[in-house]
Amino acid sequence: MPNPEGRGRASRTKPPAPRRLVVTAGPTRERIDPVRYLSNDSSGKMGFEIARAAAERGDQVILIAGPVDQKTPPGVIRVDVESARDMLGAVKTAFLGSESRAKGSFGKKGGDALFMAAAVGDWRPKRRLSGKWRAKDGGDEVASLELVKNPDILATVGRRKGSRLVVGFALETGSGLKRAMAKLNRKSADFIVLNNETALGANRTTVAILGKDGSRVNITNKTKRDVARALVQLHYSNSAPAE
């Protein structure tokens, strides 16, 4: 209740207590041989902005980054990985908890929230060659590469998250709404952030934040820093932010 005589007094409302956030960012690389790999065009900007926004609020942040050329935000612990399997191991350690208190771990309790902004490769070569792949030396005009599925990090962690917040991302060409909703339900996430290919490498983006409760919030043509601040608010309100 407002104090009618409290003009000029500082508010007694306490800021939210700091929380432990795990954020993933960037692409993964799946090695074909020592000089070639499968990857994608993710710049990591969105994940790095989420980590920055959370750290600015005073949260403890572990940022698990694929191969990107981005500066680590102040106050953020960064763990660099390459492959999807590397990232899965780092996410399990940081978010689900580990006996270790080394860099990249919050200890046994793990994290309070996970933001899976990384563009994780779905496939990897079945066999990594020890030397350079020389398919053209055989004179063939067509070569094939056998692939196997990578682990599904979001689904793996989502099944074990309990009441903790998990936010996934879905980059879709076209509308992609039905696919993003299916991903939300299939992977036990609390929210899915839907965007499209124009977000890759850009400083501005348009997203739809889809909640498991059926909520939907559209954020149109905002900087990734603005979107990141809105997303970080999810783990304080546990509901979609106001437009």
Alpha helices of 100-218 — where are they, by DSSP H?
153-158, 177-186
- Which residues on neighbouring strands pair with residue 134, listed in sequence order? none
b/e per residue 150-177 (b: at least 16 CB within 10 A): bebbbeebbeebeebbbbbbbbeeeebe
Residue (of 220, 206, 208) closest to 184 by Cα position: 208
Q: Which of 40, 196, 218, 221 is catalytic?
A: 40
* Phi, psi at 114, each rounded to 5°: -125, 130
Q: How far apart are the first and last CA of the chain?
A: 27
Q: How many other C-beta atoms are found inside a 10 Å radius of the C-beta of residue 223?
A: 14
Residue (of 28, 161, 144, 40) closest to 86 by Cα position: 28
Active site residue 40: yes
Provide the 8-state DSSP code for 119. B
Residues annotated as catalytic (active site), given as ranges? 40
